[in-house]
Amino acid sequence: MTDAPAATRFPPRQRALHWLTFGLVAITYLLIELREDAPRGSALRTNLLQSHVLVGLAILVLVWPRIWHKLRLGSPPITPPLQRWQTQLSALTHFALYAFLLVQPILGVLTIWMTGRGLPIFLTGLEIPSPFAGNHDWHEWFEDVHKQLGNVFYWVIGLHIAAALYHHFLRRDDSLTRLL
Name residues whose C-beta falls within 8 Å of residue 136's C-beta, 6 or more positions apart in sequence: 114, 115
Mean pLDDT estimate for the chain? 92
> Lowest-confidence range among 4-18, 68-82, 105-119?
4-18
Q: Write the single-letter amino acid at 122.
A: F
Looking at residue 122, what is its pLDDT? Answer: 67
Looking at residue 126, what is its pLDDT? Answer: 86
Looking at residue 41, what is its pLDDT? Answer: 94
Looking at residue 166, what is its pLDDT? Answer: 96
Helix (H, G, I), strand (E, B) or coil at 79: coil
Q: What is the mean pLDDT of residues 80-91?
A: 94
pLDDT band at 4 (very low <50, low <70, confident <90, very high): very low
User: 93-104 as b/e, with b when 16 or more CB fall inside 10 Å?
Assistant: eeebbeebbeeb
Backbone angles phi, psi at 173, to 5 degrees: -100, -175
Q: What is the mean pLDDT of residues 125-142?
A: 92
Helix (H, G, I), strand (E, B) or coil at 112: helix
Span 47-64, pLDDT tens digits: 999 899 999 999 999 999
Entry field: residues in the chain? 180
Name residues whose C-beta falls within 8 Å of residue 62's C-beta, 6 or more positions apart in sequence: 17, 20, 21, 24
Q: Write the single-letter amino acid at 156.
A: V
CA separation for the pair 152, 150 (Å, rounded): 6
**33: burial class by Cβ within 10 Å (0-12, 13-18, 19+)?**
exposed
